């Protein structure tokens, strides 16, 4: 499991937006701005979205049954971090509730949304600006 160093951990808890890159079925990149939260205990980044969004569709299982990959990149001035890993869609109510609570702590309270799902990125690679590199 990936562990972020102290500088990286502080950066991913500050209030910044990031980009999420997933791949469309034709292989082209789909890049959108997102808010995300980092779960240090699980090594997972979570993004809430509607179940019908393109990013949720791109996070579904691949035709061969494999897990798709994604990258989250947060930039602020000269600081940046990219978290890469497998991505999956979760409609588990407990995980949605946890993601919403974490989102509220980092950004703001979300309105109830029965179409909400969680995109769960299990991070296996981290790249960062030099001063944050481990």
Distance separating alpha carbons of residues 101 and 107, to the nearest angstrom? 10
**Per-residue pLDDT tens over the stretch 113-122:** 999 999 999 9
Distance separating alpha carbons of residues 90 and 92, to the nearest angstrom? 5
Distance separating alpha carbons of residues 84 and 121, to the nearest angstrom? 8
**Per-residue pLDDT tens over the stretch 95-132:** 999 999 999 999 999 999 999 999 999 999 999 999 88
Three-state SS at 39: strand
CA angle 102, 106, 107 (to 5 degrees): 110
* Residue 134 pLDDT class (50, 70, 90 cuts): low
The full length of the chain comes to 134
């Amino acid at each position: 499991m990936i562990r972020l160093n102290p500088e990286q951990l502080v950066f991913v808890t500050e209030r910044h937006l990031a980009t999420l890159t997933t791949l469309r079925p034709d292989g082209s990149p789909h890049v959108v701005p997102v808010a995300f939260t980092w779960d240090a205990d699980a090594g997972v980044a979570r993004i809430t979205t509607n179940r019908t969004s393109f990013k949720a569709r791109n996070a579904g299982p691949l035709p061969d049954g494999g897990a798709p990959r994604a990258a989250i990149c947060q930039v602020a001035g000269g600081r940046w971090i990219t978290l890469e890993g497998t991505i999956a869609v979760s409609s588990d109510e407990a995980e949605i509730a946890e993601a919403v609570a974490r989102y509220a702590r980092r950004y703001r309270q979300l309105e109830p949304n029965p179409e909400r799902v969680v995109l769960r990125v299990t991070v296996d690679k981290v790249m960062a600006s030099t001063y944050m590199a481990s």
